[in-house]
């Protein structure tokens, strides 16, 4: 009973804070705004994937310009319990997620109709509808776009890894020795930048497909408005007597998997661990009163940090400053 009362108190406080925040113009977290129409989702049909990893290579090639170039030697952090994470000498690793490898293919040996079969599962950011990484980032570095893409801005991220901590799949990966923390308090704040799939948001902005979708020879992925993709996923699952993952996990994501094998079986068969996300059940983390309240408390701080980060970026990049002025003039 007491637990229920505490939960209700949290929710009442959260809603009151939301009303106050809205009235004062403070940016609200996505969980309060709610998911908007126009979000894009992708369906991955695992019955089609042959594990060729063309998607992995395309992702690395197209996004090479975003990959980190750390300062060496990487400054040591204080306290010492804050670990240095350096993948710069292991850029060719493709069997897990890293700051240089945002997409990889898991493999699962399972039985289909009594026959041993290998199922291949492309893994990357799930792009949640109410992403805890964005709602709970204290610096506003992780933000969800209106088109459903969740992105981490490397010019604002301090590498504190809160996003990885709250992500149900521990997707974001850290590279030390890069980012804004080097200019602020090298040994005391942050420890690099967090990296993950941003679903080729620039290509999508230009009306092009993400690299992994464009290159796939088997057309494993389909992208489109979320309602249409969910409907296609259900139709495909019915066609192959299959199963769906991602529609409701963590309150719903914009990455929908369809498999001929139950995901509980796939989850048992895949290798899990650091940089190797699971395929198990996930409750809606942002439905928890504690997380909702934390998101509302952090929202104004994240908004201020986001503004300061943008100012810093414009000061360091005159070209970006000119583009920003042109964009305002065209509004």
Confirm whether 231 is domain-assigned: yes
Residues 86 and 74: beta-carbon distance below 8 Å: yes
Tokens of 310: 């943008």
Q: Which domain holds residue 144?
A: 34-326
Q: Is 22 inside any structural domain? A: no
Q: For each of the chain's 331 residues, which pLDDT tens digit applies?
A: 434 434 444 444 444 444 444 433 444 445 545 556 689 999 999 999 999 999 999 999 999 999 999 999 998 877 676 788 999 999 999 999 999 999 999 999 998 878 899 999 999 999 999 999 998 988 889 989 999 999 999 988 989 899 999 999 999 999 999 998 888 776 666 789 999 999 999 999 999 999 999 999 999 999 999 999 999 999 999 999 999 999 999 999 999 999 999 999 999 999 999 999 999 999 998 888 777 777 666 666 666 666 666 666 666 665 544 444 444 333 3
- For residues 123 and 106, give the distance between their C-alpha atoms in angstroms, rounded to a whole number: 7
Contact criterion met (CB below 8 Å) for 145 and 165: no
Length of the chain: 331
Per the DSSP assignment, residues forming a β-bridge with 253 are 128
Strands 193-195, 142-144: pairing is: unpaired
Q: What is the pLDDT of residue 115?
A: 86
Structural domains in the chain (count): 1
- According to the model, what pLDDT value does residue 21 have? 41
Is residue 263 included in any domain, yes or no?
Answer: yes
Residue found by looking up tokens 């989850």 in the block: 267
Q: Is 219 inside any structural domain?
A: yes
Q: Quickly list DSSP for 238-307.
A: HHHT-EEESSSGGG-BSEEEEESS-HHHHHHHS--BTTB---S----GGGSHHHHHHHHHHHHHHHHHHH
Residue 29: inside a domain, yes or no?
A: no
Q: Would you say residue 191 lies in a domain?
A: yes
The whole-number pLDDT of residue 15 equals 44
Q: Cα separation of 242 and 235, whole Å? A: 10
Does residue 205 lie within any of the structural domains? yes
Of 103, 164, 102, 89, the C-alpha closest to 133 is 164
CATH number of 61's domain: 3.30.70.20
The runs of H, that is alpha helices, within the chain are 2-24, 30-33, 54-62, 132-135, 162-166, 181-184, 201-205, 211-215, 226-240, 263-269, 289-316, 318-330
- Which residue is listed with tokens 């200019």? 183
Measured between alpha carbons, how far is 86 from 91 in angstroms, rounded to an integer? 10
Q: Is residue 27 part of a domain?
A: no
């Amino acid at each position: 009973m007491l637990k229920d009362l505490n939960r209700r108190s949290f929710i009442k406080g959260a809603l009151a804070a939301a009303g106050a925040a809205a009235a004062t113009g403070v940016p609200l977290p996505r969980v309060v705004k709610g998911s908007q129409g126009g979000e894009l989702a992708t369906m991955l049909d695992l019955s089609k994937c042959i594990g060729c990893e063309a998607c992995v290579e395309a992702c690395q090639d197209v996004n090479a310009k975003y990959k980190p170039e750390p300062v060496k030697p990487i400054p040591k952090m204080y306290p010492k319990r804050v670990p240095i994470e350096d993948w710069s000498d292991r850029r060719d690793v493709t069997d897990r997620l890293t700051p240089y490898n945002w997409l990889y293919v898991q493999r699962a040996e399972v039985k289909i109709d009594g026959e041993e079969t290998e199922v291949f599962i492309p893994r990357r950011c799930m792009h949640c509808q109410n992403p805890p990484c964005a709602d709970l980032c204290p610096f506003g570095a992780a933000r969800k776009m209106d088109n459903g893409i969740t992105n981490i801005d490397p010019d604002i991220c301090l590498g504190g890894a809160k996003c990885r901590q709250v992500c149900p799949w521990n997707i974001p990966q850290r590279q030390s020795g890069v980012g804004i923390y080097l200019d602020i308090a090298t040994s005391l704040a942050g420890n690099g930048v967090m990296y993950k799939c941003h679903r080729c948001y620039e290509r999508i902005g230009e009306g092009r497909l993400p690299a992994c979708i464009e290159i796939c020879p088997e057309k494993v992925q389909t992208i489109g408005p979320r309602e249409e993709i969910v409907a296609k996923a259900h139709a495909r699952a019915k066609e192959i007597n299959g199963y769906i993952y991602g529609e409701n996990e963590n309150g719903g994501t914009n990455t929908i998997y369809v498999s001929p094998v139950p995901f509980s079986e796939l989850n048992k068969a895949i290798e899990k661990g650091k940089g190797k996300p699971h395929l198990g059940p996930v409750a809606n983390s942002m439905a928890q009163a504690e997380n909702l309240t934390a998101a509302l408390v952090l929202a104004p701080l994240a908004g201020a940090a986001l503004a300061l980060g943008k100012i810093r970026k414009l000061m360091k990049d005159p070209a970006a400053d000119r583009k920003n002025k042109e964009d305002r003039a065209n509004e």
